[in-house]
Amino acid sequence: MAKGLETDGVEAGGANTEGDHPAGGKAAKVLQLCMSDGKGGMELYVDRVIEDLHAEGVEVIGICLLQTRIETYFQRHGVAFKAFSSNLDALKSVWRIRRWLIDENVRIVHCHKSSDLRLTALLKLLLPNLRVLYTDHVGGQRAKKSPYHRFAYRNVDYVLSISQATYARNVNNLPVPRERVICLPHGVNIDTYHPVTDRASIAAKRAELGIPESAVAIGLPGRVTPGKGQDVWVKALLALPQELDFFAVSIGGTDYASGGTEEFYQTLVELIDGTPLADKIRFLGHRSDLTEILPVLDLVCIPSENEAFGLTIIESMACAMPIIGSNTGSLPELVDKDSGVLVGPFDVDAWQRAMAALIEDDARRRAMGAAARTRVERHFSNRQHVKRLMGYYDALA
């Protein structure tokens, strides 16, 4: 497709309403705006929230960049969408987008990337009754209080922070009144992510993954990229006593196409090659069967340096996995003393000790896993999340 050309997704119907914006009703239709070309948690959240909103009877339309994960998600969910070759292309098309929102009877825009706010700021000028929510999936630590940021954020009705850690940063760093910053943690589908107890299916999946039947299976779900902590994890694994019966798997992209960093991955391979434990550590790469892999593990490690939230954490906990995680970012909010162990993100010795202790203690792992599942059911289910999210949609509509 030619550069600079806009494309529409599923053909959108809707009333041909005149005027600045249609009136009345609650949020029966919401625009999900995500101009990201990434392959991480933000994009996965958009995918999952569309599914959850559809289940609640909320219609979704979308705006995205061409040839991105977001476009793929819109297509899979049958969402009417407009895809643009660049952010500038979308800004140039603002009058067409305005007309589309009027025709589609949309008054709520939910955006997911700070750069999306350029487009919402223009749309707000053209549609004063438009309401804007922005989920900050990053929780950056730099202040954003320049004239541009003040202009962009003044049009945001609610900033949704995905953890208490990012909430505190948003209150301090964004030019938004405290009362308009809301802490709304992500949720996980506890019917999709759940424990598996059938021994035959567990054995079959472990065999497919190359995990020895007797070994304690240690998993690290997440893209292989600096900041996710795979280097600390590998060093800690290599420091484990050789006599311990374990097998470690990294589950996540190892190259750019799958969201990983190939140079970083190669440094990990070089660390492992030729060591006595080389045959106990395996990189699975990107997998589409995480819901099948997580429940057959025995222990999950999340050594991220500064996780804004970490969907893979609550996904693992929902599968009754005990957690060893970093004591930074949002992890202390997700993992309590009953469901896991938290250590310093760069403390290789502490990681080694924590893994060794849980490898050798089956009963403790099982107790922590059960507590992890219960914690997610009580605090981090997608049903709780989407109910609160729809409450904010409806309040603004």
Radius of gyration, alpha carbons of the chain: 22
Direct distance between the N- and C-terminal alpha carbons of the chain, in angstroms, rounded to an integer: 36
15, two tokens = 């009333």
> Order of strands across the sheet with 340-343?
281-285, 246-251, 216-221, 299-302, 323-326, 340-343
Strand, helix or coil at 298?
A: coil
pLDDT reported for residue 41: 85
Q: Are both 7-12+25-187+382-396 and 199-379 of the same fold?
A: yes
Six-digit token string for 143: 């202040």
High-pLDDT (> 70) share of the chain, %: 93
The answer on pLDDT for 43 being more than 70 is yes
The CATH fold assigned to 7-12+25-187+382-396 is Rossmann fold (3.40.50)
Mean pLDDT of 174-183: 96
- The answer on pLDDT for 245 being more than 90 is yes
Structure tokens at 376: 């997610």
| 3-state SS, residue 296 | helix
What is the rounded average pLDDT for all residues in the chain?
92
Question: Regarding predicted confidence, which is higher, 248 or 9?
Answer: 248
Average pLDDT over residues 109-118: 96
- Nearest CA to 49 out of 71, 73, 25, 66 is that of 73
The angle at the Cα of 182, spanning 36 to 222, to the nearest 5 degrees, equals: 45
| DSSP-derived secondary structure for 161-228 | ESSHHHHHHHHHHSSS-GGGEEE----B-TTTS-----HHHHHHHHHHHT--TTSEEEEEES--STTS
Nearest to 250 by CA among 9, 272, 76, 64: 272
pLDDT given at position 26: 64
Q: In this structure, which topology does domain 199-379 adopt according to CATH?
A: Rossmann fold (3.40.50)
- If you average pLDDT over residues 5-18, what whole number do you get? 38
In which order are the strands placed within the sheet that holds 131-136?
7-8, 80-84, 59-65, 29-34, 108-111, 131-136, 158-161, 181-183
Q: Is 17 a residue whose pLDDT tops 70?
A: no
Question: What does the alpha-carbon distance between residue 74 and residue 175 come to, in Å, rounded to a whole number?
Answer: 31
The number of C-alpha atoms within 13 Å of 18 and in the hemisphere containing its C-beta is 0
| Closest residue by Cα to residue 253 from 38, 29, 1 | 38
pTM for this entry: 0.85
Give the pLDDT of residue 394.
Answer: 95
| Mean pLDDT of all residues in 306-326 | 93
Residue 251 · residue 291 · CB < 8 Å: no
pLDDT band (50, 70, 90) for residue 18: very low
Alpha-carbon gap, residue 9 to 328, rounded angstroms: 41
What is the length of the chain? 397
Neighbours of 383 (CB within 10 A): 15
Average pLDDT (355-378) is 98
Residue 362's pLDDT band, with cuts at 50, 70 and 90, is very high
Mean per-residue pLDDT for 15-27?
41
Predicted confidence (pLDDT) per residue in 76-109, tens digit = 999 999 999 999 999 999 999 999 999 999 999 9
Name the residue among 111, 87, 355, 83 with its Cα closest to residue 246. Answer: 355
pLDDT value, residue 20: 41
Query: Domain residues of the chain, as ranges?
Result: 7-12+25-187+382-396, 199-379
pLDDT class of 28 with cuts at 50, 70, 90: confident
